[in-house]
Structure 1
């Protein structure tokens, strides 16, 4: 079962049976067929008996009215075939062998799925069959390099039909949501690849930032990638440190909950590179400050010879 669901998730986009909300999707049914819901328009035509023809809109209770019958009949969560059978039973009260054609002519009961955040093509998608999280992320072009590795799925409305509920119960006070890991999703874990229902909102979250300042070649904001960001990697992403850097006393300023004063962590970059000290894993919104060390005679000499400030990067060999 797990392999089957994962295999479905990585089919080429052209076979998804999905369509952008701005487009008109081609009909594509799953094995069960499209389930009728409130707002859908139903058209019925009886061969040779036009007085029994009808066009009906499914009401909020999931019912439609059929000509010459006082009581409405339930259409909610039924397929065209199921509903046609119910209407035929009613017609046999007046006709011996009614030949009924019944179709859903307008599908208005399914709001689009919205895909936002760190994906390459933010969009809304109309679902015409069962779909899962991984294929919808792929349909939106995949995640960007600024993705933080987590996906949040909001369920804005309860499932219309009971068989699709799958533990998404809520008190109604809040919109329920769940978090999923991109890493687990890529590994094909079934629990990380849920079925997405009409009206769901998918947000691929942006990576949290850290800031590297001082004696690095390219100071600025960095994003914490999936799996975390150690200090040495952050320095490398800033293109390395300068010769003027005080590498034995790098300060990391970290937010403290309930305090306006940051925690100060001191790291010895040289010891970390030698394996004598454990690398420091940075946390969201950390500020890494690489101070300037006092100049040595060789630094003054190099600056005198080149005529430019000494900002030559130091990289491991």
Structure 2
């Protein structure tokens, strides 16, 4: 009777250990041999880079303080006491308008007062002691092109020199309306120059980045999938997740469904390849709570949850051939019988 009880206990123990087997057949903690990458392959640079504060100030200083007349603008020229010289004009693509008697006059990139002086000088050959004023009726040329992950990409018109926040608001960048749209950075293209701005700083109150824009500037919001973190290992939903402003370790772990039942929550790794950092975190310490461990994540960070030792034993048992397992049970039974 005692031998039967011992046999039953051993069989039950082996079946329980086999039940711990993981459903996947990938060997745990396997360390394949590494080889140096061929020279024809390049390692992609995933870290976001931003322009210097000096370049931000340079872009800001280039914005004119007054509105400058451009192609497509509709203006009215008023010559006091001379209705035959007064009238509305549309500025041509070359920046010119046509005046009675004086002919073609260029007023491209001039403000109201400068345009009035140019027109007065052109008419002074034919008229003495005239007084000229210029009124802008339609601000057609003052436009900014917005591209990328916004609700309304395209050309946006303004009556003055808009700021970056005004452009994003008009294009549907605020609030965040689309799941794949996360405002973390943007580029401002001006001529042959490009300015990369950290929108997380701007959204957190750094108004020094809310620069005024010029006519024909292009604002580009990159795809949100360019800003990602990776949650791998023993979690319920491993994969790539969007990096949101002020995203923390627990935020990323929660989006991945939390640790699985096979996870070793005492040895979770937070890896930052861009800085060569590798920090071990115990989930119980984070939940204690120790706020210093719930660190803010950056673009390209990797959260890795390893497999626990018990799940590892279960894996190896799952690799045993069923016939071998049966023979092992018979051998145990024979030994108990003897």
TM-score, with structure 2 as normaliser = 0.53
| Structure 1 residues 143 and 100: alpha-carbon distance in aligned structure 2, compared to 1, 3 A threshold | same
Give the structure with the higher percent strand: 1
Describe the superposition over 1:5-36 as per-residue Cα deviations: whole angstroms up to 9, x where unpaired.
xxxxxxxxxxxxxxxxxxxxxxxxxx96x532
Asked if 2 retains the 8 angstrom alpha-carbon contact of 1:246 and 1:293, the reply is yes
Asked if 1 retains the 8 angstrom alpha-carbon contact of 2:74 and 2:140, the reply is yes
The answer as to 2:158 corresponding to 1:127 is: yes
> Cα distance, 1:286 vs. partner?
2.9
Matched with 1:196 is 213
Describe the superposition over 1:224-274 as per-residue Cα deviations: whole angstroms up to 9, x where unpaired.
2212432x23212223223322111223454367xxxx8654332223323
Matched with 1:152 is 186
Matched with 1:287 is 302
Asked if 2 retains the 8 angstrom alpha-carbon contact of 1:43 and 1:55, the reply is yes
Give the structure with the higher percent helix: 2
Structure with the greater relative contact order (CA < 8 A, sep ≥ 6): 1 or 2?
Answer: 2
> Cα distance, 1:58 vs. partner?
5.8
Asked if 1 retains the 8 angstrom alpha-carbon contact of 2:235 and 2:258, the reply is yes
| Structure 1 residues 270 and 177: alpha-carbon distance in aligned structure 2, compared to 1, 3 A threshold | same
SS at match of 1:83: helix
Asked if 2 retains the 8 angstrom alpha-carbon contact of 1:146 and 1:225, the reply is no
Matched with 1:245 is 263
User: Could you list the runs of 5+ residues in structure 1 that have no partner in the other structure?
Assistant: 1-30, 158-173, 300-317
The answer as to 2:115 corresponding to 1:83 is: yes
The answer as to 2:226 corresponding to 1:216 is: no
| Structure 1 residues 243 and 252: alpha-carbon distance in aligned structure 2, compared to 1, 3 A threshold | same
Please, what is the CA RMSD of the aligned residues? 4.4
How many residues are aligned here? Answer: 240
Give runs of aligned pairs for residues 241-280 of structure 1, distance below 5 A. Answer: 241-255=259-273, 265-275=279-289, 278-280=293-295
